[in-house]
Amino acid sequence: MTLTIFLFCTGAKILHSVILPLAQNAMLQLGGALPSQLALILNQPLAGWADYQLLTLLSALFIHANWLHLLGNMVYLWVFGLPLERRLGGAGMLFVFMFGGAMANLFVVLRLPELTSPIVGASGAVSAVVGAYLGLFPSRRIGMLLPLGLYLQFVRVSAVLVIGSWFTLQLVYSVLGPITGIVAWWTHIAGFALGLIFALLVRATAQIKLG
C-alpha cells in the first residue's frame, strides 16, 4: 500500500509537470481542497453536504505543486510508512494516510474558511503516518546513511530525533509550497496529532485484549 500511494503521488506530479500551465492551474483548482468553497458547503444543512467538492479533501493528498514538496513527503512516507504497514496491514496504513490527511485538510478549512488558495500535497497525510509511527514505535531507532567526509556512514538514529528534523523540513516546505506557511503548519500538526491518537488507541486496544 505504501508503494501504491508513492506511485499515485509521483504519477500525479509527472502529469502536472507535462501539461500546459493553464491545465496545471485547473488541476490544482479542481483537485485541491479550496477552504472558501468547502466552508460554504459545510455551513449548509446536512442534506447539502452531498457535493463532490468534499472529495477534494482526499484528492488534494495526491497533488503536489513542486518536486521538492513531493520528494520530502515521499521520503518520509517510505521511511515511516513501510514499518507502519507491516504493523497495521495495508488497510490500516491506507486508513491512517487517507483519514488523517483528509481530517487535517478539514481542520484547515474550519480554521481558515476565508482562504481562496487550494490546499494540495500529502503533508497532512504523511504527518498522520509519522504520528502513528511514533505512537507505535516510540523507542525505535532508524537506520540512516550520513555523509562523513568522503564516506557515507550507516548510523541508527532515535526516531524522535528524525521526526524532529522532519518538522523542520515541513517548515521549509510551507514557505516554498503553493499555500501559506500557517496553513501548511496547521495541516501538519492536525495530521500528526490524529495519527498519534490513532496509534495510542491501537496500543490501548491491544493491551486490553492481552489483559
pLDDT by residue for the chain (211 residues), tens only, comes to: 999 999 999 999 999 999 999 998 899 988 999 999 999 888 888 777 777 889 999 999 999 988 988 998 898 899 899 999 999 999 999 999 999 999 999 988 888 888 888 888 898 999 999 999 988 888 777 766 656 666 666 667 777 787 777 777 666 665 665 555 455 667 888 898 899 899 989 888 877 665 5
DSSP for the chain reads -HHHHHHHHHHHHHHHHHS-HHHHHHHHHHHSB-HHHHHHHHTS-GGGG--GGGGHHHHGGG--SSHHHHHHHHHHHHHHHHHHHHHHHHHHHHHHHHHHHHHHHHHHHHH-TT--SPB-SSHHHHHHHHHHHHHH-TT-EEEEEEEETTEEEEEEEEHHHHHHHHHHHHHHHHHHSSS-HHHHHHHHHHHHHHHHHHHHHHHHHHHHHH-
Residue with cell 489483559: 211
pLDDT score recorded for residue 95: 95
Check if the beta carbon of residue 123 is closer than 8 Å to that of residue 181: no
Domain boundaries, the chain: 2-210
pLDDT score recorded for residue 186: 75
Options 2.130.10.10, 2.40.50.140, 1.10.1740.10, 1.20.1540.10; which CATH number does 2-210 get? 1.20.1540.10
Size of the chain, expressed as the number of residues it contains: 211
Please list, in sequence order, all residues whose beta carbon lies within 8 angstroms of the beta carbon of residue 130, skipping any fewer than 6 positions away.
Answer: 76, 80, 163, 166, 192, 195
pTM for this model (two decimals) = 0.83
Cell of 91: 488497510
Q: Around Cβ 184, how many Cβ atoms within 10 Å?
A: 24
